[in-house]
Amino acid sequence: MMDIIRTEGVGRCFETPAGPFWALKGIDVGAPEGKLTILRGRSGSGKTTLMNILGALDFPTEGKVWFGDREISAFSEAEQTRLRREQIGFVFQSVALIPMMNALENVEYALRLAKYQGDRTARAMECLRLVGLSQRADHMPQELSGGEQQRVAIARAIAHYPKVLFADEPTGALDTASGLAVVKLFRELTDQQGVTIIMTTHDPGIMELGDRVYELSDGRLVTDLDEGLENETEAGTDAASAVQGGDPIQGDSLKEGDGHGE
């Protein structure tokens, strides 16, 4: 299984009034192509800092980052900007939809920014259909539930055919059922569309759902991750069963036209 993104000894140091602070140290990770990779850790563990470096939003202080066969840690800021625009999509906890645009227009706008050359309206509608919201295309953000807004944000992020989708705490502002529905959508995007997804979370119930999982603590990788996985709570097992079809997911449905409320 080929890693589309990998790091070699990545560290990130920030200067503070108290002196240098190492948010990351000695990080070696890889994200397999077409799979769901999860970065798990508590607040302050360094997972968002690592995601920013993997997603070409920041540079490491030391070490290397590879995107395919290119060392993006050696890119200029202009080269990183082009990489993000053309080959990377982002989904954040705060969905940041444009309030004066409906769902379809929000996705179309992202395609304009990416300088997409095809039929933007058709591609935007296709992406809304992928996330189960084609019948809500003309609805404004305030007319959508939190889970539906997040799914519009996902449609927007995948519209330009990125090689990698980064999702930073995408379920953090959602209730349990809506959060599981978003993770189920991620599984469908990887399994059926071949999208590579890298996601951060602090939720132990989501940890089992990744194809590859890394746990961070105080800026370092946890070395006994496999043992930690075996000792996860029943909540994690139940969540995995729900997403993989063992239990019906309540809340925002991924079927067309469903999900009018949290």
Give the full edge-to-edge strand order of the sheet including 36-40.
88-92, 164-168, 196-201, 36-40, 212-217, 220-221
| Span 146-164, pLDDT tens digits | 889 999 999 999 999 999 9
Is residue 183 in some structural domain? yes
Residue 168 lies in a domain: yes
Residue 246 has pLDDT above 70, yes or no: no
Residue 169 pLDDT exceeds 90: no
Res 255: pLDDT = 44
With respect to residue 150, please indicate whether it lies within any of the assigned structural domains: yes
More confident residue, 96 or 15: 15
Asked whether residue 212 is assigned to any structural domain, the reply reads: yes
Check whether 22 has a pLDDT greater than 90.
yes
Q: What is the CATH number of the domain that holds 183?
A: 3.40.50.300
Give 245's pLDDT tier (boundaries 50, 70, 90): low
CA-based nearest residue to 107, from 87, 88, 92, 127: 127
* Share of residues in the chain with pLDDT > 70 (%): 84
In a domain, 235, yes or no: yes
Residue 110, pLDDT > 60, answer yes
Angle subtended at Cα 186 by Cα 59 and Cα 192, rounded to the nearest 5 degrees: 115
The highest-confidence range among 13-27, 168-182, 246-260, by mean pLDDT, is: 13-27
Instruction: Find the angle CA(99)-CA(114)-CA(170) to the nearest 5 degrees.
Output: 55
Q: What is the pTM of this model?
A: 0.82
| Cα separation, 204 vs 232, whole angstroms | 7
Say if 121 falls within a structural domain: yes
Angle between helices 146-158 and 103-113 (to 10 degrees): 30
As for how many domains the chain has, the answer is: 1
Q: Give pLDDT tens digits for 209-218.
A: 889 999 999 9
Domain that holds residue 45: 3-243
Task: Give the pLDDT of residue 234.
Answer: 44
193, with CB counted inside 10 A (0-12, 13-18, 19+), is exposed
Lowest mean pLDDT among 25-34, 57-66, 124-133, 221-230: 221-230
The average pLDDT across 128-136 equals 92
Would residue 261 count as lying in a domain? no
In a domain, 253, yes or no: no
Residue 247: per-residue pLDDT: 42
- Judge contact between 124 and 158, C-beta under 8 A: no
What are 10's strand-pairing partners?
27
**For residue 149, what are its two tokens?**
């807004």
Give the per-residue pLDDT at 237.
44
pLDDT at 144: 94
Identify the weakest region by mean pLDDT among 9-23, 118-132, 232-246. 232-246
Least confident piece of the model among 163-167, 171-175, 236-240: 236-240
**Per-residue pLDDT tens for 55-105?**
999 999 999 999 999 999 999 999 999 999 999 999 987 778 999 999 999
Confidence category of residue 167, pLDDT binned at 50, 70, 90: very high
